[in-house]
Amino acid sequence: MTRSSKSRLKQLWNACCWVLAGSTSCLASADDHFCFDEPARAVYRDLLQLDFDRCDAALERVRKHASGTDTRNYAYLLLENERDFFRLFVYEHKGEFERLKGNRDQRLKRLQRSGLDDRWKQFLQAEIEMHWALIHLKRDKQVRGMQLLLRAHSLIQEGMQRYPDFYPFRKSAGILTALLATIPPEYQWASRLAGLSGDVREGRELLESFIEASTRSDSFLLEEALAAKSFVSCYLENEPQTAYRYWIRVAGLREPGPLFAWVQVKLALRAGWNDAARNALRALPARGFERLPLLHYLQGLAELQALDPSAERHFSLFFDRYPGQTYRAEAWQKRAWHAFLQGDFARYQWCMTNCRETGPGMIDEDKQAYLDASLGIQPDAMLLRARLLSDGGYAERALQLMTSSPPAYSHDDERLTEYHYRLARIYQQLNEPKLALEHFLNVAASGHRNSHLVCNAALQSGILYELTGDKASARSHYEKALQLQPDRYRHSLHQKARAGLSRLRGK
């Protein structure tokens, strides 16, 4: 064993011992401290179940007993912030952000005045900043979100240098290091000014090192780290099937709850395993949908991708029960597609009108749905069915549909471009890279440089070349994707291209 290997092993062993000691030696103390004891864990379990009534009641009991040791336990400060994060990130109740945003400053002031150990004080400050950064970014408050994100990253990096054996920093560092690798160009100046950089592989390795240490001690941060590693693997390392299998192995057999179901279904849909997503949703108790109405949208999408008529019922429940705006425009579009494929053209037009009136929203999916509705272009039934089947992973069914009769798009450039794109994606799913690349080349030759299909063809070609080990061609196609300015999905397509370049730098 080399000296550097021994050093890394010793560091990991010391960290494991620290995590084990820190999580099992919680004793009552009259001083300020951090102890994730069983009462605190019970509140955290309620949060993961999105049972805010039980969570609020427990936190209120702690607040009222001002003379008890719990009020000096800053685990409850973190839990209060987690509660606000989930409430704002999941539900988007109107006016809730304005009501709760002042809690950030109050909690940071409490931390500064506390006698808490410096390691925990700095870590909790970073966690609070990261939570509120993500909340601001979701609300499209990009500048403020980036300020808080960079502040959190700076606190975490400083903490890792000052306290190398304090492993909670590794979890947060892994998440932010991976995210910074895909930072949009308009904010890269800020990260360069702060001397920050990201790397997808480094982010994943930081998460893995934390998970390896914390699994020996049942760390309270473990669930978050497992979900983060799964999403990094799925979305940034472009290994969705590996990510799904990993999640099922490490967390899929735990108590079913709305957040775990959301993670599992998102990963399954991304992996193209639509039936796995449908089965997970059908097995979830009704209270899971009550606490996380976004699951109705995911079930509607999963049923639509299987061309199942029950999709309409799930979309209807989503609109009835979800108070937020995220996925709303896209849900109207998908509901319109369902009506169109059922031959109900009047209902199709009604749904598309509602999509336009909803507005573009803040995420790429909603923006594309709004743009489609605004253009008023009616889809082609065969291409739409092929798209849905392909997105659901039913590649054989999609290929049979596409090749059962010759295309009639010779005088329609846009439809012909989509025809080649759909075939390329189908062959990509069927592990036929040569045929996929041929059709992607036809897409690129169409000349529609502002088309999201052309941009994604460049991106997917880069992925195929990366998988075959042709780094030069992969890099060329990722860079080409970044040079294009697609009319839709620009942020997500460019993020994936930047993640691809980050992966290549690590190989």
Q: What is the pLDDT of residue 199?
A: 82
The pLDDT > 70 percentage for the chain reads 88
State which amino acid sits at residue 356.
R
* Residues 96, 49 contacting (CB under 8 angstroms): no
> Measuring CA to CA, which residue among 334, 327, 333 is closest to residue 138?
327
Phi, psi of 73, deg, nearest 5 = -95, 110
Tell me the C-alpha distance between 141 and 300, whole Å: 29
To which residue do tokens 């994943």 refer? 204
Query: Residue 239: enclosing H or E segment and its boundaries?
Result: none
Structure tokens at 228: 């983060």
Residues 251-261 pLDDT 10s? 865 667 899 99
Name the band, by pLDDT with cuts 50, 70 and 90, for residue 191. low
Structure tokens at 18: 């620290």
- For the cut 50, the answer to whether the pLDDT of residue 23 exceeds it is no
To which residue do tokens 């002031």 refer? 109
Instruction: Calculate mean pLDDT across residues 16-23.
Output: 33
Q: What is the pLDDT of residue 172?
A: 93
Q: What is the pLDDT of residue 64?
A: 72
* Residues 368, 388 contacting (CB under 8 angstroms): no
Tell me the C-alpha distance between 18 and 13, whole Å: 9
- For the cut 90, the answer to whether the pLDDT of residue 264 exceeds it is yes
Name the band, by pLDDT with cuts 50, 70 and 90, for residue 24. very low
Name the band, by pLDDT with cuts 50, 70 and 90, for residue 83. very high
Cα dihedral 75, 79, 81, 87, rounded to 10, equals: 180
Name the band, by pLDDT with cuts 50, 70 and 90, for residue 142. confident
* Residues 150, 187 contacting (CB under 8 angstroms): no
- The dihedral sign for the CA sequence 479, 481, 487, 491: negative
What are the extents of the domains in the chain? 9-238
pTM value > 0.75? yes
Residues 413-464 pLDDT 10s? 889 999 999 999 999 999 999 999 999 999 998 867 789 999 999 999 999 9
Mean pLDDT of the chain: 87
* Residues 151, 129 contacting (CB under 8 angstroms): yes
Tell me the C-alpha distance between 228 and 207, whole Å: 8
Residues 353-402 pLDDT 10s? 999 999 998 888 898 899 999 999 899 999 999 999 999 999 999 999 99
Q: Which fold has domain 9-238?
A: 1.25.40
C-alpha distances in Å from residue 250, one per residue of 183, 247, 340, 375: 29, 5, 40, 45
Residues 212-251 pLDDT 10s? 988 777 677 888 999 999 999 998 888 999 999 999 999 8
Tell me the C-alpha distance between 303 and 306, whole Å: 5
